[in-house]
Structure 1
Amino acid sequence: MRLWKADPGTVRIWGYNTYEALIGRPSPPYAEGKDGDYRITETGREHYRTRWARYAVLYPDVAAPDPEGGPEPWPADLQRTLDRMKGAIELAHRAQWTAHLRMEEAQKDAAKDTAAREGAADEEWYALLLEQAQARGALALAHRERATEEAVVAIRRYAHAVCAAYVASAEGSPAGADLTAAVVAAAHAGQGSTKVPRPPACGLHRVDTAVQEAYGTLAGTRTRRRPLPKQMQSARSAWKDWTDPPEHDLVVRRLLHLARTVAASWTGARCASRSPPSPVIASARQSFWLASSPC
């Protein structure tokens, strides 16, 4: 990978094993040079082009560029960072749901029938239970609102981070620690805003179509002319006391949809570009069709 990226320049190579893997064993050799400075040969270029997909699967931590100009694989450190941001959203949603269930439980306890009360002792006891249920309900409501705000911030951070990583990959920016730091900085800067810049076109039709449609829905430039059929409409929320979400909740949901679309589309494009049919399989398929052709 270093020889490929340095081409037509040279790379400093040390070690007997590296020398043998690049020059000693291959015939013709994959590199040429002297005194430790080597450049890639045409055989080495062909080896990189034909074996890149296999090596990209075997060594996912190596940010090796696609020889066909496809999307750059995200570094492992960057992927772990994005996974942690995505996990923060899931944790906030879980806390949000738990708080809501606790609030519903407290509301049920506060609404229990207390008609069978006898004497002052029962009155005091039921009054205490009612006060506790109301206090639990108020506390659960506060927890739910806090978890909701944490979820919104986590969604904003994740969306800005994913979009920043996508822009860097689509524009061919160098990968590494600097890219991860830039993505984290973009997430921190965008945690208070739902506005993200329009993602650029990466040249892959399927990816560009999905990403641009999701961005158009978020920006309000793409609207559905007719409502979705009933079987395709999302089910109502299980939170019975909630009605239609306010405008800012809808924007946040669209922002999350954009982030998920970008992440899924880009990962899918990388997987597709890493998995071309092997030369043996391609040759076998060609032989089969030539043999079975009536012409």
Structure 2
Amino acid sequence: MTGKAQAAWDSLNPRQQAYLHVLFNHDQAAEEQRAADWASGRTLDDRTPASEWRWIDVVTPGSRLTSVQRALAQRDVRDPGVGSTLAALARAGLIEHEEVPRGRSRAVRAKMTRTGRAAVRASLKAAPGRRTGELADWSWEILVRLWREDGAEVRAGGPAVERALLDRKPPLAAQHTYPWYTITEAGREHYRQNWARYAQLYPHVAAPDPDPGEDPWPAAAQKVLDRLRQSVDAAVADRSAAFYRQTEAEDAAAKARTQGGPGGGEVSGEWERLIVEQAQQVQDLTATHARARAEMAARHYADAETRIGPAIGAYVHGALAAYEVSMENVLFDDAVAEAISQAAAGAGAEWVLPPRPAPCGLHDVDSALGEAWDTAAGVRVRRRPLPKQMTEPPPRRGRYRAMLRADPEPPPLETRLEQAWALARATAGQVNDGALRRSLHPPIRQNP
């Protein structure tokens, strides 16, 4: 099946692949939401079949863009031809599509087929879906939490938890006072026997190896990445706070200057003259303090700006080093954290953008990181700008409009820094908790 699925994917042109990939993301998001609702008990009485809730709106009447159109616009796929592209995917058996009445007009919607999902999974080199008897990703996450606590009680609510962990023979968990659970010996054995399979099936779940050896993604490595991100966040937050303090102090100083003296006419008598002089001194002192606060806030603003660039540079270099470690799979334990730290420290204050990351073979990751790096390097140029519905903020009315006018925003960061920061976030989002490493190098240990 994998060979046929890969062949089906390879037979598509880039536009058709983009459409199928976006539809697949929406299909999986709907499936995850359905599972979450079912686990929480919100849809216990909802028996709507998947053949109905899997339909995805592609184009709807009116000026509002659908989430599919927005995702395609981000991929620079917006030229005419929605109908012909969907028809080609339908002829290949990858989707179903139809037009349905919506008011006085009609909407276009599509639904992935099993063949279509298999084709995208082949392009992503993702593991096939779970087999009968295997835990869903959310129930596997709960079992991982129970394993980590090693006998301590864990809070995990929802009737689906009972069906997934308690209704088995033997049960994988024991319930104490609802909703507190502990792992059973059967649960520990299930974890040991099936850890390798689940690690391949759900690489985004950081599940510890039951037979620990060399740790491919130690906690220290994640702490280094988190510290690099926090350094950028702190510098940006300090810059914004200094800007607001400076604006407030400058407004106070300007108000004190325009108010003039406290006197309003002839002053007679020694007592009145003393009151006027004291009021003038207080006003002068207030203006002086406001100017001093504004100058201090300006220095804090400048200091935060000088810290943002090196912090972003260190984050970019560290995140891309983590990406390379995940691809090569030759460093383990403390060596992973050391490689990330050295790359971040080597960026320096006058950092330059690292070389373009080599493709890892996962379509989703290569597409996201390649696009982010090309944008940061200034080599990615859109054929057309994004639709105005995606770039213009929605109109605000009444008190919300007044609030927007009352709160000035700090100047935006340099484009170079914003784009490099976006690249660092995109890279870290793929490698965090070792998810990319588990996707590229799943455990080779097989179940008995």
TM range (shorter): 0.5 to 0.7
Quick one: which amino acid aligns to residue 265 of structure 1?
Answer: Q
Supply the distance in 2 between the matched residues of 1:212 and 1:63 (Cα, whole angstroms). Answer: 34
C-alpha deviation, 1:220, in angstroms: 1.0
8 Å Cα contact 2:240-2:410 kept in structure 1: no
Does residue 1:132 correspond to 2:285, yes or no? no
Task: After TM superposition, give the deviation of residue 231 of structure 1 in Å.
Answer: 2.9
Aligned residue among 235, 251, 257 for 2:416: 251
User: What letter corresponds to residue 207 of structure 2 in structure 1?
Assistant: L
- What does residue 197 of structure 2 align with? 50
Partner Cα separation in structure 1 for residue 254 and residue 281 of structure 2: 16
Superimposed CA distance per residue, residues 154-212 of structure 1 (whole angstroms, 9 cap, x where no aligned partner): 11111110101101211233222122112111101113214112111111111001101
Query: Is 1:100 paired with 2:243?
Result: yes
1:110-129 to 2 correspondence within 5 Å? 110-112=253-255, 113-115=258-260, 117-118=262-263, 119-129=276-286
Which of residues 398, 423, 426 is equivalent to 1:261?
Answer: 426
Partner of 1:221: 379
Q: 1:57 to 1:259 in 2, by over 3 A?
A: closer
1:165 and 2:322 are equivalent in the alignment: yes
How many matched pairs? 220
Asked if the contact 2:323–2:427 (Cα under 8 Å) also holds between the matched residues in 1, the reply is: yes
Q: TM-score, length-normalised on structure 1?
A: 0.64
Determine the C-alpha separation between the residues in 1 that align with 2:210 and 2:348. 28
Distance verdict in 2 for CA 1:120–1:50, change over 3 Å: closer
Q: 1:265 to 1:149 in 2, by over 3 A?
A: same
How far is 1:234 from its partner?
Answer: 7.1
Which residue, out of 318, 327, 334, partners 1:177? Answer: 334
SS in 1 for 2:348: coil
Match of 2:346 in 1: 189
1:59 aligns with 2:220: no
1:230 aligned residue: 388
- Counterpart AA for 2:224: T
Q: Return the alpha-carbon distance in structure 2 between the equivalents of residues 176 and 203 of structure 1.
A: 25
Kindly tell me: are residues 142 and 57 of structure 1, through their superposed partners in 2, closer, same or farther at Cα, counting changes over 3 Å? closer
TM-score normalised to structure 2 length:
0.44
> What's the offset of the Cα at 1:129?
1.4
Q: How far does residue 58 in structure 1 lie from its aligned partner after superposition?
A: 3.3
> Which letter maps to 1:202?
C
Query: Is this contact kept in 2: 1:210–1:265, CA < 8 A?
Result: no
Aligned: 1:199 with 2:339: no
Answer with 106-115 or 138-147: which moved more: 106-115
Alpha-carbon displacement from aligned partner over 1:204-261 (angstroms, at most 9, x marks no partner): 111001101100001111112322223322769964574x65xxx1111111100111
Residue 266 of structure 1 and its aligned partner are, at CA, apart by 3.5
Equivalent residues of 2:326, 2:437 under 8 A apart: no
Q: 1:47 to 1:109 in 2, by over 3 A?
A: closer
Asked if structure 2 preserves the Cα contact closer than 8 Å seen for 1:156 and 1:190, the reply is yes
Between the aligned partners of 2:211 and 2:319, the Cα distance in structure 1 is 20
Q: Which amino acid aligns with 1:98?
A: A
User: Percent of pairs identical after alignment?
Assistant: 30
Taking the TM superposition and a 5 Å limit, the aligned residue runs for 1:13-52 are 50=197, 52=199
Give me the whole-angstrom Cα distance separating, in 2, the residues matched to 1:186 and 1:81: 11
- Give 1:122 deviation, angstroms: 3.2
C-alpha contact 2:329 2:441 (8 A) present in aligned 1: no
2-side partners of 1:150 and 1:132: how far apart? Answer: 27
Q: Take 2:279 and 2:408, find their aligned partners in 1: how far apart are those partners?
A: 33
**Residue 88 (structure 1) aligned to one of 213, 231, 255:** 231
Candidates 300, 307, 311, aligned match of 1:143 = 300
Q: Does the residue aligned with 2:259 lie in a helix, a strand or coil?
A: coil
Q: CA deviation at 1:263?
A: 1.4
Q: 3-state DSSP class of the match of 1:111?
A: helix
Matched letter for residue 227 of structure 1: P
Contact 1:99 1:140 in 2 (8 A): yes
Q: Which amino acid aligns with 2:260?
A: A
Counterpart-to-counterpart distance in 2, 1:99 and 1:51: 48
